[in-house]
């Protein structure tokens, strides 16, 4: 997707790319070919209602782990290698020699007191939001593996608190207008939709 988006334009909150197509009529004996230009409008994060459990390959630490290592970062893996960037409502940005594309969803991790889940949404404390600065979210997603075994991974930069119950939630990084879902430092708590969650 990053290579496709290099030729895309931003119209409102949607990325649009123009494509030149050649159309021919197989029933026409003259084999005339017509060239037309069409626009592809990409889906964005506002179109996503949820995430199927079958999209998830692995979670670490595993759900309900009672002795998670506090020196390791929490992460979630997906079978599809482009999933973290698929619905990003922004263009690729360049920073020096690096190319950045922010993921449309991020993994938040906090203690059970900092993240409280009710149904398909969660109340997230300011302390958690401050540890997950969306200006740096491009650093939290990457592909892993080789050739046909490639998959994608989202990582939380938050350090774990020893001897504490933690909650991990996968949430949208953008609102319906294509803006960051929160700013860091955050002004306070946030009510947010969750795509997936687990405890350990």
pLDDT of residue 92: 73
34 pLDDT exceeds 90?
A: no
75 pLDDT exceeds 90?
A: yes
Q: Model-level pTM? A: 0.80
- Contact (CB, 8 A) for 168 and 198: yes
DSSP state of 48: -
Range name among 39-43, 45-49, 105-109 with the lowest pLDDT average: 39-43
User: What's the angle, vertex CA 162, arms to CA 161 and CA 166, rounded to 5?
Assistant: 55
Give tens-digit pLDDT for 78-90: 999 999 998 888 7
Greater confidence (47 vs 112) lies with: 112
185 pLDDT exceeds 60?
A: yes
pLDDT of residue 103: 96
Residue 160 burial by Cβ neighbours in a 10 Å radius (0-12, 13-18, 19+): buried
6 pLDDT exceeds 60?
A: no
Confidence of residue 62 (pLDDT cuts 50, 70, 90): very high
Is the four-CA dihedral 180, 184, 190, 195 of positive or negative sign? Answer: positive
Of the ranges 50-54, 97-101, 130-134, 144-148, which is most confident? Answer: 130-134
Q: Mean per-residue pLDDT for 106-118?
A: 98
């Amino acid at each position: 997707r990053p290579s496709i988006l290099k030729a895309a334009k931003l119209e409102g909150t949607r990325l649009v790319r123009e494509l030149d197509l050649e159309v021919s009529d197989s029933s026409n004996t003259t084999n005339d070919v017509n060239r037309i230009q069409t626009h592809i409008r990409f889906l964005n994060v506002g179109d996503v209602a949820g995430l199927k459990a079958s999209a998830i390959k692995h979670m670490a630490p595993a759900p309900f782990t009672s002795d998670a290592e506090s020196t390791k970062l929490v992460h979630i893996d997906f079978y599809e290698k482009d999933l973290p960037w698929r619905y990003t409502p922004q263009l690729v940005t360049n920073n020096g020699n690096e190319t950045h594309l922010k993921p449309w969803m991020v993994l938040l991790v906090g203690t059970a007191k900092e993240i409280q889940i009710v149904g398909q949404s969660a109340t997230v404390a300011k302390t958690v939001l401050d540890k997950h600065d969306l200006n740096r979210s491009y650093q939290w997603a990457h592909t892993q593996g080789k050739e046909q075994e490639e998959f994608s991974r989202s990582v939380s930069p938050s350090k774990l608190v020893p001897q504490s119950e933690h909650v991990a939630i996968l949430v949208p990084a953008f609102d319906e207008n294509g803006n960051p879902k929160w700013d860091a430092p955050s002004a306070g708590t946030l009510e947010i939709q969750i795509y997936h969650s687990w405890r350990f």
